[in-house]
Amino acid sequence: MNLRIDLERLISEIEALAAFSDAEPPAVTRIVFTPTDLEARAWMKARCEDAGLAVRQDAIGNTFARWVGSDRAAPVVGTGSHIDAIPNAGKYDGVVGVLGGLEAIRALQRAGFRPRHSIELLIFTSEEPTRFGIGCLGSRMLAGMLSAEAAQKLQDNQGASLNDVRRQAGLAGELEQVKLPSGYYKAFVELHIEQGPLLEREQKALGVVERIAAPASLRVLVEGSGGHAGGVLMPDRRDALCAAAELILVIEQAARTSGATDTVATVGICDVFPGAVNSIPAQVRLSVDVRDTSLQRRDGVMRALAEACRETSARRQLAIHTEVLNADAPADCEPAVVAALARACHTQGFSFLPMTSRAYHDTLFIARVAQAAMLFIPCRNGYSHRPDEYASPEDIGRGTLVLAETLATLAA
C-alpha cells in the first residue's frame, strides 16, 4: 500500500486547533465544556465529516467518528485521544493523537484501502482533570470504571454539577448508556507525544508503549484558625499554610525515598484562604498527584501522606481532611497490538523503543475493555504541559504513518 501523509495539512490543522484557546499563544488552555472547548469540538466534527466519517456523541461528549468497514457487524478498530488542554499547556498533548488519527484514516482512504472492520476515531471527553478533579472522565465511563451515579456527584470548582454542565453543552442522553458494550473493540491504538525525554535521549524515532503507570490524586483540606498577622502571637497560632507546607515536603520526601526513580509526586494546587498579606491562613486546599509503575510504592506514598496528616493535625491542633479522587491500577498493553506497532515501525524503517508511559492516558482505561497499546513520538526536551511543548513535523509524520500502517493491519 502506498501510504502518504499530508503533513502540511496535518500541521496546519494542529495550528488551527491551537487557536481555540483561552490563553495567549503559544500557550493553549482549553477546559472541558467551556465555550472554547465546544467551538473546538464543532471544528473537529466538521473535519471528521469532511473526511466522510459518520460522527456521533455519547452522553458525556465522547465523540466517535466512524469509517464504516465492509463487515458492519465486526468489532471496531479504534484510535484517538483528547483535545482538552490544562491551563497554560502546549499544542500537541492529545491533539497529535486526534488529528494524527484523522490524517491516518485519510491516508488509508487515499491509498484505496478498504477496511473490513470499521475504523473509528475517538475524541475522549476530559482526559485532563482540570475541571472535575478526575482525569480520563470519558474513557473511565466507557470502560465502566466510573459509574453514572459517581459521575453525577462530580462538581467543578464553581459548584456546577457535571450533569448540569454537560446538559448545558447540549449533551442529552443518560450517563448509564456511556459504558461500551462488551466486545465493541477489536483493538485500540492511541498516538501521543512522549511527554518525557527518553526517545530524544536514546535517539529513537518512536516509542511503543507496553505499560502505563498507576496514577492517584487526592485533595487535602487543612483547616486552621485565621486572624490578625500582627495581633496573634506565634504560640497561639494554628496556621493552615504552615501545616500544608509540612505536608508538601513529606510528599516530596516520600517520593524521593521510595527506592525507585519511578515514584513521582506533585502538589500542583495550593489555594490559601483568605489570601491576604496581613491575615493568618485559615484554610488551605492542596491537590496531590502521585504515580508509579508499582502500585505498592505508589500506595506507600499515599500511606506516608495519611500518616503525616494524622501527626501534623495532632501536633498543630488543626483539622486535616483528605479525599482520594482516584487511585488507579497500572495497565498492561496488549502484546498483539504492541507487536503490530513494532512490525509497522519495521515496515516503515523507523527505530523504536519499547517503553512505559509515566503519564496517564485514556488508553489506561480502554485497555481494561479492549486490546490496546500506544505509540509515542518524541517531544523536544521531553517538555509537556507547558507552552513550549513541541513535536517536529517529521516526528508527527512518522508517528502518523506508523499509526496508519497499524490500523490497516488491524482492520483488514
Q: Which residues in this chain contact ligand GLV in the complex, by CB under 6 A? A: 128, 135, 359-360
Least spacing, CB of residue 361 vs Mn ion, in Å:
6
Residue 194 interacts with which of ligand GLV, Mn ion, none, CB < 5 to 8 Å by class: none
What torsion do the CA atoms of 383, 386, 392, 395 make, to the nearest 10 degrees?
60
Nearest CB to ligand GLV, comparing residues 239 and 362: 362
Nearest CB to Mn ion, comparing residues 58 and 93: 93
**CB distance 265 to 287 below 8 Å:** no
Per CB under 5 A, 399 contacts Mn ion: no
Q: φ and ψ at 197, to 5 degrees?
A: -95, 5
Query: Which grid cell is 113?
Result: 484501502
Q: State the greatest distance between any 2 C-alpha atoms of the chain, in Å, as a whole number.
A: 78
264-270-275 Cα angle (round to 5): 165
Nearest CB to ligand GLV, comparing residues 179 and 361: 361
Query: Which grid cell is 109?
Result: 482512504
Least spacing, CB of residue 369 vs ligand GLV, in Å:
20
Least spacing, CB of residue 252 vs Mn ion, in Å:
22
Least spacing, CB of residue 63 vs ligand GLV, in Å:
19
- The 8-class DSSP code of residue 113 comes to -
Q: In residues, how long is the chain? A: 412
Residue 360 interacts with which of ligand GLV, Mn ion, none, CB < 5 to 8 Å by class: ligand GLV
Nearest CB to ligand GLV, comparing residues 106 and 361: 361
Instruction: Please name the helix (run of DSSP H) or strand (run of DSSP E) that holds residue 46, with its range, or none.
Output: helix 35-50
Report the residue number whose CB is nearest to ligand GLV.
Answer: 359
Instruction: Please name the helix (run of DSSP H) or strand (run of DSSP E) that holds residue 29, with its range, or none.
Output: strand 28-30
Least spacing, CB of residue 215 vs Mn ion, in Å:
11
Give the footprint of Mn ion on residues 67-96 (CB under 5 A): 93-94
Q: Are strands 54-57 and 63-67 parallel, antiparallel or unpaired?
A: antiparallel
Nearest CB to Mn ion, comparing residues 126 and 263: 126
E-assigned strand segments in 168-294: 185-193, 206-212, 214-223, 227-228, 264-273, 279-280, 283-292
Least spacing, CB of residue 69 vs Mn ion, in Å:
27
Least spacing, CB of residue 289 vs ligand GLV, in Å:
7
Nearest CB to ligand GLV, comparing residues 29 and 283: 29
Instruction: Please name the helix (run of DSSP H) or strand (run of DSSP E) that holds residue 356, with its range, or none.
Output: strand 352-357
Residue 37 interacts with which of Mn ion, ligand GLV, none, CB < 5 to 8 Å by class: none
Nearest CB to ligand GLV, comparing residues 76 and 286: 286
**Footprint on this chain of Mn ion (rule: CB under 5 A):** 93-94
